[in-house]
């Protein structure tokens, strides 16, 4: 029987850090261990990096207009 882990929620900043580390060539396993998430989570975050950067840049422009 498999063991269940508690769900780990990463902030936007942490997700961007994960994406940067993958781009730099860090090992996925090392990144996953340091953030306390699984390998597939790291892969999913990296694949969605475009959406993350678009969202963050949109938030930056929205906050500067206020």
Please state the three-class secondary structure of the chain as a single string: CCCCCCCCCCCHHHHHHHHHHHHCCCCHHHHHHHHCCCHHHHHHHHHCHHHHHHHHHHHHHHHHHC
pLDDT at 42: 97
4 domain-assigned = no
The number of distinct structural domains making up the chain is 1
Question: Residue 16 belongs to what domain range?
Answer: 12-65
pLDDT at 1: 65
19 domain-assigned = yes
1 domain-assigned = no
29 domain-assigned = yes
Mean pLDDT of 4-19: 91
What integer best gives the mean pLDDT of the chain?
90
pTM, rounded to two decimals: 0.79
């Amino acid at each position: 029987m498999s063991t269940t882990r508690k769900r780990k929620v990463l902030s936007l900043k942490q997700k961007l850090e994960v994406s940067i580390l993958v781009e730099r060539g860090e090992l996925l396993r090392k990144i996953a261990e340091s953030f306390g998430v699984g390998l597939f989570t790291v892969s999913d975050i990296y694949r969605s990096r475009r959406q993350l950067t678009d969202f963050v840049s949109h938030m930056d422009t929205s906050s500067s207009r206020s």
